[in-house]
């Protein structure tokens, strides 16, 4: 048997599948890609039960591992009998505790351990008749296992819809967008491409989507609009290279030039967008299907993107509204704080003026008690005391019966010191 090249991770997973008593299932998604790679090489198989797959080695896989590990040592994993015993104890505990078992925020190793126990309970048919197990908290939070009555809920699969592409459509019956659409495909594929666009336009309109022609400077073939989001669609045709003998003058010359020819394989694609990472954006002819078969998937993707973008717009609107509400509240509070500061400054000014007027009057009385005896000195002191008392009366706020001061004229810049980082002109941080 030819040696199959595997990397270290693939070898470790193959050893676990062949020698370990703990089953490798879809409960551990981190192993899925490796299991699929081993399955593609014919080393393992996967079987479905209770909505999950379980990996098992093939004879080829065992032989391949025997060549690498002549005397394999079992990995230190939980024995199957131990997991089955714990599964039976779990069922008993659930029956005694009213059907619910709660584990507070287990670590990842504990979560994996409980998933193996649940798998053992299902695989070993330990669940009582007329009941099924459910659990939440697979990857985070508390792990809650419940034993419920009734059969397990059926796994729902979306209904497969189809879009019929007619074999023949007269030019005058074509959808106007499909009829006028620019198609960068070879003449042999023009008619098929327009029939595909014709069926796609009708199906989109049946789903309450809007179909329109692209802008003159666009390379798209048509535009589908859903929930205020426009999605240009681009038609492509594949090519392949063949030798180009046109430049050869003599029969003995080697043909080195290459030319491309259309492959007649059509493809429709959406514009790549970083707003939808990981989403499919290309549909086309393959060995197992044709582009016509993938038109429903294309429309579903457009509907998904439109829904996602609509939710993002709503979230952005809510965020902007909340930001504006906080900004308005900050502006109101800033105005209140500025007016309060103005009143405090006015009060301090009045109190300071009152203290000064009171001190001046006391000073004037002291001058009257200690002025000299000469007529000139008495006249000078008298004039000075008269002016001082007039000034005291002028600055004393008490006789003016002051009230609550009027608010000052407020400009946006006056509010800036009170806004704690908000802009005084618009709802954003300065």
* C-alpha separations of 287 from 264, 279, 284, 400 in Å: 13, 22, 10, 99
Q: Domain for residue 163, yes or no? A: no
34 and 133 belong to one structural domain = no
19 and 106 both lie in a single domain: no
Q: Say if CB 235 and CB 199 are below 8 A apart.
A: no
DSSP state of 243: E
CATH number at residue 86: 3.30.1370
361: left (phi over 0), alpha (psi -120 to 50) or beta: alpha
**Residues whose CB falls within 8 Å of the CB of residue 164, separated by 6 or more in sequence, listed in order:** 199
Q: Are 298 and 329 in the same domain?
A: no
For residues 25 and 138, the answer to whether their CB atoms sit within 8 Å is no
Residue 49: predicted pLDDT: 67
Are the beta carbons of 44 and 20 closer than 8 angstroms?
Answer: no
Whether residues 99 and 126 share a domain: the answer is yes
Structure tokens at 224: 């589908």
166 lies in a domain? no
For residue 23, give the nearest of 53, 46, 54 by alpha carbon. 54
Predicted pLDDT of residue 74: 43
Residue 175 has what pLDDT? 95
**Domain check: are 200 and 304 in the same one?**
yes
Tell me what pLDDT residue 359 has: 97
- Claim to verify: residue 54 and residue 92 sit in the same structural domain: no
Whether 63 and 88 share a structural domain: no
The token pair that represents 82 in the structure block: 């131990």
Task: Give the model's pLDDT for residue 215.
Answer: 93
DSSP state of 411: -
The number of beta carbons lying within 10 Å of the beta carbon of residue 43 is 26
Last residue of a domain, one of 40, 68, 96: 68
Domain count for the chain: 4
pLDDT at 76: 43
Q: What angle do CA 102, 105, 110 make, to 5 degrees?
A: 85
Closest CA to 340 of 428, 259, 410: 410
- Residue 384 placed within a domain: yes
Q: Which residues does the chain have with pLDDT short of 70?
A: 1-3, 20-22, 49-51, 69-81, 154-160, 371-373
Place of tokens 């029939």: 195
- Judge whether 320 lies within some domain: no
User: Is 55 a domain residue?
Assistant: yes
**Quick check: 364 and 384 in contact, CB under 8 A?**
no
57 to 11, 54, 311, 374: CA distances (angstroms): 12, 10, 45, 130
Sign of CA dihedral 147, 148, 154, 157: negative
> Are 124 and 188 within one domain?
no
Print the domain residue range for 399: 325-418
* Residues 97, 195 within the same domain: no
Q: Is residue 156 in a domain?
A: no
Report DSSP state, residue 400: G
What contacts 36, CB < 8 A, 6 or more positions away?
A: none
Within 8 A by CB and 6+ apart from 63, the residues are 1
* Cα 415 to Cα 374: distance, rounded to the nearest angstrom: 61
């Amino acid at each position: 048997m030819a040696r199959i090249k595997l990397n270290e991770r693939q070898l470790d997973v193959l050893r676990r599948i062949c020698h370990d008593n703990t089953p490798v299932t879809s409960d551990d998604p981190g192993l899925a890609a490796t299991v699929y790679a081993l399955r593609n090489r014919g080393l393992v198989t996967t079987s479905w039960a209770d909505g999950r797959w379980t990996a098992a080695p093939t004879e080829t896989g065992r032989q391949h591992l025997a060549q690498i590990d002549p005397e394999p040592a079992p990995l230190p994993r939980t024995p199957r009998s131990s997991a089955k015993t714990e599964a039976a104890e779990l069922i008993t505990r659930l029956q005694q505790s009213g059907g619910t078992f709660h584990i507070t925020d287990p670590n990842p190793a504990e979560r994996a351990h409980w998933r193996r126990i649940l798998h053992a309970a299902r695989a070993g048919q330990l669940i009582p008749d007329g009941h099924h197990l459910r659990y939440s908290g697979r990857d985070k939070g508390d792990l809650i296992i419940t034993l419920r009555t009734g059969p397990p809920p059926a796994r729902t699969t979306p209904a497969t819809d189809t879009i019929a592409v007619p074999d023949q459509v007269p030019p005058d019956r074509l959808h106007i967008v499909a009829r006028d659409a620019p198609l960068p495909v070879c003449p042999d594929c023009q008619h098929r491409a327009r029939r595909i666009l014709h069926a796609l336009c009708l199906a989109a309109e049946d789903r309450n989507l809007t179909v329109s022609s692209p802008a003159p400077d666009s390379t798209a073939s048509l535009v589908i609009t859903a929930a205020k989001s426009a999605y240009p669609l681009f038609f492509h045709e594949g090519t392949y290279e063949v030798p180009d003998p046109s430049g050869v003058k003599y029969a003995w010359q080697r043909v080195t030039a290459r030319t491309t020819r259309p492959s007649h394989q059509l493809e429709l694609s959406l514009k790549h967008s970083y707003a939808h990472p990981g989403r499919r954006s290309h549909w086309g002819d393959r060995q197992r299907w044709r582009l016509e078969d993938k038109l429903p998937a294309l429309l579903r993707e457009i509907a998904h993107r439109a829904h996602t973008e609509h939710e993002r717009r709503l979230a952005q609107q809510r965020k902007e509204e909340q930001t504006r509400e906080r900004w308005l509240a900050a502006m109101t509070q800033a105005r209140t704080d500025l007016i309060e500061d103005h009143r405090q400054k006015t009060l301090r000014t009045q109190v300071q003026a009152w203290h000064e007027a009171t001190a001046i009057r006391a000073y004037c009385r002291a001058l009257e008690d200690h002025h000299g005896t000469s007529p000139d000195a008495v006249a000078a002191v008298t004039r000075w005391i008269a002016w001082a008392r007039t000034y005291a009366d002028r600055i004393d706020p008490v006789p003016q019966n002051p009230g609550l001061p009027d608010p000052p004229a407020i400009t946006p810049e006056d509010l800036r010191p009170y806004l704690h980082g908000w802009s005084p002109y618009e709802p954003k941080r300065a």
